[in-house]
Amino acid sequence: MKETAYQWVDENEKEIIEWSDTVWGFAELGLLEYKTSKYLSEILEKHGFHMERGVADMPTAFVGSWSNGEGPTLGILGELDALAGLSQKAVPWKEPIEEGAPGHGCGHNIYGAGAVAAGIALKTAMEEHNIGGTIKVYGCPAEETLVGKVWMVRHGLFEGVDAVLAHHPGSANTAGTGSSNAMNSFKVHFYGRTAHSAGDPENGISALDAVELMSNGVNFMREHIIEKARVHYIHEECGGQPNVVPAYARTWYYVRAPERSQVEEIYAWVLDIIKGADLMARTKSRVEFLTGCYNKIPNKVLADLVVSQMREIGAPKHT
C-alpha cells in the first residue's frame, strides 16, 4: 500500500509543487483565504472527495471527505493563511512581490498543498488495495490567530475521527513528541475623553495613558510569572496627533504558557492590571476576547511511526 501512495506522489510531483507555488502567490491573511480555499477544495473535489465548504461559520474553512466502507477515520490538517507584511518572491534573498503585502513566512503554502496531496495519495492506495476507512482533509483558516481549528473543534468537526495528522514546514525532518504553549489572544479597548492637549488638557481623559499604564503593569508582572510564559503585545490605535488627548486607544495581547491553567492565572492577573490602568487614567475599558487554545497533547506512538516512515523514504533532496 505504501508503495502505491509513494508512486502517486512521485508521478504527480510537478503538479503538487504547482499547487504549493500557486498558494504562495495567493498569500491571503487569516479568514480571508478565499482564493486558496477555493483552489485547494476544487482539487480535492476533482479527485473524488465530497466537499463541505464554509464550515464552522468560516467562509474559507472546508472539509473534504472520502470513504471506502468501514474502518478508521483519519484526519489530515492543512493550513491556509499567510502573514502580514511578508510578501516575498521565491528567491533566497529579501525581495517582496509587493512591498508590505502578506506572504507565506510560515510555509502554509506547503502545508495546505501537502495535506491535499497526502489525502489524494492515501485515497489512491486505499482504492487500489481495497482498504476500508475514511479520509478527511481539513482546510483550516487563520492558524496564525488561533481561530480556525479552535472553531472547527467547537462545531464538532472532529467527532468520530480516530487520529489526526498535521505537519508544518521547518528546519528538521522529524515528528515531534513535545507539546506546545496554550494561549489567549485578546484586545483591550480603552475609552476616555478628548480635549486639546495645550489649551484644555485638564478636561481630557487619555485612553493612551491607560494603554501605557497597562503595558507598564504587564512588564513589571513579567518578573513574577513562570520563566516559560510569554506575554507580548502591539498598540493598534493610540490617537491621531499629539495636540489632541486621545479619547480611544486599543492594544492587542497574547498570553502564552506551557499549560492552560498557567495561561488562565496570568490572564486573570492581566485583567486586574487593566482595572488598575482604568483607575489611574480615569478611563473605561472593554476586553475583547478573540480566541484561546490548550497546549498540544502529543501522541508518541504516531510520532514514532511517522519517523520510521521518514527513515524509510530518506532525506529530501533540495533543488
Give φ, ψ of 246 to 5 degrees.
Answer: -70, 125
- Half-sphere exposure of 282 toward its Cβ, with a 13 Å CA cutoff? 10
Q: Out of 108, 139, 169, pick the residue that ends a domain.
A: 169
Q: Out of 169, 203, 230, pick the residue that ends a domain.
A: 169
Angle at 70 between CA 128 and CA 42, to 5 degrees: 60
Cell 481561530 locates to 147
The answer to whether residues 147 and 17 belong to one domain is: yes
Express each pLDDT in 89-143 by its tens digit: 989 899 999 999 999 999 999 999 999 999 999 999 999 999 999 999 999 999 9
Q: 11 to each of 1, 2, 16, 19, 101, how far by Cα in Å?
A: 16, 14, 10, 14, 34
Q: How far apart are CA 71 and CA 210, in angstroms?
A: 57
Asked if residue 33 is part of any domain, the answer here is: yes
- Half-sphere exposure of 312 toward its Cβ, with a 13 Å CA cutoff? 9
Confidence of residue 223 (pLDDT cuts 50, 70, 90): very high
CATH number for the domain including 258?
3.30.70.360
Q: 126 to each of 7, 134, 256, 300, how far by Cα in Å?
A: 13, 10, 41, 25
Residue 317 predicted with pLDDT over 90: no
Give φ, ψ of 261 to 5 degrees.
Answer: -65, -35
Asked if residue 315 is part of any domain, the answer here is: no
Q: Is the dihedral of CA 296, 300, 305, 310 positive or negative?
A: positive
Asked if residue 92 is part of any domain, the answer here is: yes
Residue 318 predicted with pLDDT over 80: no
Asked if residue 310 is part of any domain, the answer here is: no
The answer to whether residues 152 and 232 belong to one domain is: no
Domain span including residue 188: 182-293
Name which residue leads in pLDDT, 209 or 171: 209
Q: How many domains does the chain have?
A: 2
Q: According to the model, what pLDDT value does residue 315 have? A: 85
Nearest CA among 169, 104, 163 for reference residue 138: 163
Q: According to the model, what pLDDT value does residue 221 have? A: 99
The answer to whether residues 152 and 190 belong to one domain is: no
DSSP per residue over 49-93, as a string? PEEEESGGG-TT-EEEEEE-SSS-EEEEEEE---BTT----SSSS
The answer to whether residues 19 and 147 belong to one domain is: yes
The answer to whether residues 59 and 144 belong to one domain is: yes
The answer to whether residues 7 and 103 belong to one domain is: yes
The answer to whether residues 162 and 15 belong to one domain is: yes
Asked if residue 316 is part of any domain, the answer here is: no
Q: 25 to each of 34, 44, 141, 212, how far by Cα in Å?
A: 13, 19, 17, 39
Cell 497533547 locates to 297
Q: According to the model, what pLDDT value does residue 20 have? A: 97
Q: According to the model, what pLDDT value does residue 316 have? A: 82
The answer to whether residues 99 and 7 belong to one domain is: yes
Asked if residue 238 is part of any domain, the answer here is: yes
Asked if residue 308 is part of any domain, the answer here is: no
pTM: 0.85
The answer to whether residues 279 and 190 belong to one domain is: yes
The answer to whether residues 159 and 24 belong to one domain is: yes
Q: 213 to each of 138, 206, 210, how far by Cα in Å?
A: 42, 11, 5
Asked if residue 122 is part of any domain, the answer here is: yes
Work out the widest C-alpha separation in the chain, in whole angstroms: 82
